[in-house]
């Protein structure tokens, strides 16, 4: 074989290696994106406003990432990505149950690349067993919490709106319980959401029970600038919220 042919083959081999490395980096970026979605599913309410558009976007993104990861399945970055995605998918499955246009494409991608990656069979067996137990125990704990520890009171939103500056929003909620019920005015920031073309991530854990009346009572809500009046009485000003740090909360309360 001539020297020119050898150099050409070596150049082609180097090109393929770097192409696979680049593809593996794309797969790792996709795994990080799944982690970002997991974080948002925990600390935000995922409101898919355009399911068809959002489903098409996630499906195309997942299909492209899966193709890149299968092509580079023996690269270390792809192996790391395959180990990350299944546990990162767990909070998405639990918190976004019913949003199949989100769960199915990501789930297919995560499962396929986990078994198709270049990791050893022993590693796959060990991690697969751990992930399976993690899913079973987490889902069981969540089911027990929502079934037996959640309140039996029935809540219904009867009114909602935003302040003139659109910085705050409120809801008037009637609650039916064993003690003649109650009416609650809830206030929360309206400028902390993440709004995309087909999905909105609404922040949770920052709401405040502004006024609670028992039994069920009619509430007349009125805004004067950003001051909120309930039945003619001022209950909220932005200054008191800033001084009292109303909308600052910890991670635990956001999860509840």
Q: Which residue has the higher pLDDT, 150 or 141?
A: 141
Residue range 35-47, pLDDT digits in tens: 999 999 999 999 9
Check residue 144 and give its pLDDT. Answer: 86
- Average pLDDT of span 209-235: 92
C-alpha span between 250 and 232 (Å, rounded): 33
Mark out the alpha helices in the chain (DSSP H runs).
3-43, 51-71, 76-95, 100-116, 121-144, 238-244, 251-255
> Token pair of 112, please?
């396929």
Instruction: Find, among 127, 123, 91, 93, the residue nearest to 108 by Cα.
Output: 93
Helix axes 121-144, 76-95, angle to 10 degrees: 20
**pLDDT higher than 50, residue 252:** no
Contacts of 228 (CB under 8 A, 6+ apart): 163, 168, 170, 187, 210, 221, 222, 234, 235, 236
Check residue 118 and give its pLDDT. Answer: 87
pLDDT above 70 as % of the chain: 91
**pLDDT higher than 50, residue 21:** yes
Q: Which helix (H) or strand (E) holds 148?
A: none
Check residue 240 and give its pLDDT. Answer: 86
Question: How far from the centroid of its chain's Cα atoms is residue 130's Cα?
Answer: 23
Question: What's the DSSP call for residue 159?
Answer: E
Average pLDDT of the chain, as a whole number: 89
**pLDDT higher than 80, residue 135:** yes
C-alpha span between 210 and 119 (Å, rounded): 54
- Average pLDDT of span 56-64: 97
Q: Which residue has the higher pLDDT, 5 or 113?
A: 113
- Average pLDDT of span 147-171: 87
**pLDDT higher than 80, residue 127:** yes
Question: What's the DSSP call for residue 147?
Answer: I
- Counting Cα atoms < 13 Å in the Cβ hemisphere of 170 gives 25
C-alpha span between 240 and 228 (Å, rounded): 12
Lowest mean pLDDT segment, chosen from 90-94, 122-126, 145-149, 155-159? 145-149
């Amino acid at each position: 074989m001539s020297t020119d042919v050898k150099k050409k083959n070596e150049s082609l081999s180097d090109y393929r290696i770097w192409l696979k490395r680049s593809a593996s980096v794309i797969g790792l970026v996709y795994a990080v994106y799944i982690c970002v979605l997991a974080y948002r599913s925990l600390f935000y309410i995922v409101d898919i406003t355009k399911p068809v558009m959002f489903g098409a976007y996630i499906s195309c993104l997942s299909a492209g990432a899966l193709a890149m990861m299968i092509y580079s399945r023996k690269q270390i970055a792809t192996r790391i990505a395959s180990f990350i995605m299944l546990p990162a998918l767990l909070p998405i499955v639990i918190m976004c149950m019913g949003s199949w246009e989100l769960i199915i494409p990501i789930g297919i991608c995560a499962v396929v690349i986990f078994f198709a990656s270049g990791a050893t069979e022993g590693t796959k067996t060990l991690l697969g067993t751990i992930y399976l137990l993690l899913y079973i125990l987490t889902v069981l704990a969540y089911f027990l919490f929502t079934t037996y520890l959640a309140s039996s009171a029935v809540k219904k939103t009867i009114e909602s709106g935003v302040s003139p500056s659109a910085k705050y929003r409120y809801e008037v909620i009637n609650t039916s319980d064993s003690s003649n019920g109650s009416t609650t005015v809830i206030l929360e920031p309206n400028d902390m959401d993440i709004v995309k073309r087909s999905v909105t991530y609404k922040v949770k854990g920052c709401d405040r029970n502004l006024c609670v009346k028992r039994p069920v009572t009619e509430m007349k809500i009125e805004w004067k600038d950003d001051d909120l009046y309930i039945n003619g009485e001022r209950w909220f000003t932005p200054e008191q919220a800033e001084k009292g740090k109303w909308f600052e909360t910890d991670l635990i309360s956001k999860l509840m």
